[in-house]
Structure 1
Amino acid sequence: MANPSVETVNTSGDKLMLSAGVLLVLAGFVGFFWLNGQEWYIRGAALVLGSIAGVAVGLLSAPGKGFIAFAKDSYKEVRKVVWPTRKEATQTTLVVFGFVVVMAVFLWICDKSIEWAIFSAILGWK
């Protein structure tokens, strides 16, 4: 069993950048509520700008750059996937629904058989 590698933030610069990113996002939220008397677009701009600045600073750190590389690799892998045709997807869906119906009937028969065995045969209830 392989253990997945865990990436940790090792340098104080990365820790500082991630902390600054979190503080910028929090500043955007605080600004949104602090500007309560202002127009909605000013409050929204504070929220959006704080969030964008925080994410940008976070992505400039080493873990952020690693996340960007992971996202790019994931996108490349998703493009390699061969998706089923509409006909194949429909057939597979119908097979799954058919199996669900068969299992529902089977479980209902099992339930009624156990119910009959316990209440009628063993306890003698009618």
Structure 2
Amino acid sequence: MATTQVETVSSGADKARLAGAAVLVLGALAGFYLLSRQGALVQWGVLVLGLIAAAGIFFTAETGKQLIAFGRDSWKEVKKVVWPTRKESIQMTAYVIAFCAIMALFLWLTDKTLEWALYDLILGWKK
């Protein structure tokens, strides 16, 4: 018997938190533009405080908690990665550059050969 993962539907409180966070973001943006006569300090203060409050509310909702859990899991996976040494990185970069140069030369030679064969031999359009 196969097991399936069941996700619960977010509650009304979670939906209200998300809606409140969205309203705070919109209010912060509106305040930023509406308070332009008050000076840059007031504008940016309203925007930053509104966004911080919205983030705080968002991270208390289930969606925000899932985002935090995802971030933690991602960080754990990044720690497991074996990164190449400086020498390996330089070698691989040199291989890629050499391959690109050889491929460019090959494509140029192919283009010139086809140009010579088509225009000079077949069509007789000598330059």
Between the aligned partners of 1:35 and 1:53, the Cα distance in structure 2 is 18
Matches within 5 A, 1:27-66: 27-66=27-66
Deviation at 1:121, TM superposition (A): 1.9
Deviation at 1:112, TM superposition (A): 1.1
Counterpart code for 2:22: V
Residues 9 and 63 in structure 1, CA contact (< 8 A), matched pair in contact too: no
Deviation at 1:50, TM superposition (A): 0.9
The reply on whether 1:95 has 2:72 as its aligned counterpart is no
Matches within 5 A, 1:10-29: 10-29=10-29
Residues 25 and 54 in structure 1, CA contact (< 8 A), matched pair in contact too: yes
Between the aligned partners of 1:103 and 1:8, the Cα distance in structure 2 is 53
Counterpart code for 1:71: G
Q: Taking structure 2 as the reference length, what is the TM-score of the superposition?
A: 0.87
Gaps of 5+ in 2: none
Gaps of 5+ in 1: none
Deviation at 1:53, TM superposition (A): 1.1
Between the aligned partners of 1:10 and 1:73, the Cα distance in structure 2 is 22
Between the aligned partners of 1:38 and 1:55, the Cα distance in structure 2 is 25
Between the aligned partners of 1:67 and 1:25, the Cα distance in structure 2 is 18
Question: Compared with structure 1, are the counterparts of its residues 124 and 9 closer, same or farther at alpha carbon in structure 2 (3 Å cutoff)?
Answer: farther
The sequence identity of aligned pairs, in percent, is 47
SS in 2 for 1:121: helix
Between the aligned partners of 2:40 and 2:8, the Cα distance in structure 1 is 39
Name 2:80's counterpart in structure 1: 80
Residues 9 and 15 in structure 1, CA contact (< 8 A), matched pair in contact too: no
Question: Compared with structure 1, are the counterparts of its residues 95 and 87 closer, same or farther at alpha carbon in structure 2 (3 Å cutoff)?
Answer: same
Between the aligned partners of 1:58 and 1:117, the Cα distance in structure 2 is 67
The one-character-per-residue Cα deviations of 1:10-64 (angstroms, maximum 9, x if unpaired) are 3222222111111111111110111111121111011111111112211111111
Residues 10 and 62 in structure 2, CA contact (< 8 A), matched pair in contact too: no
Counterpart code for 1:74: S
Aligned residue pairs, count: 121
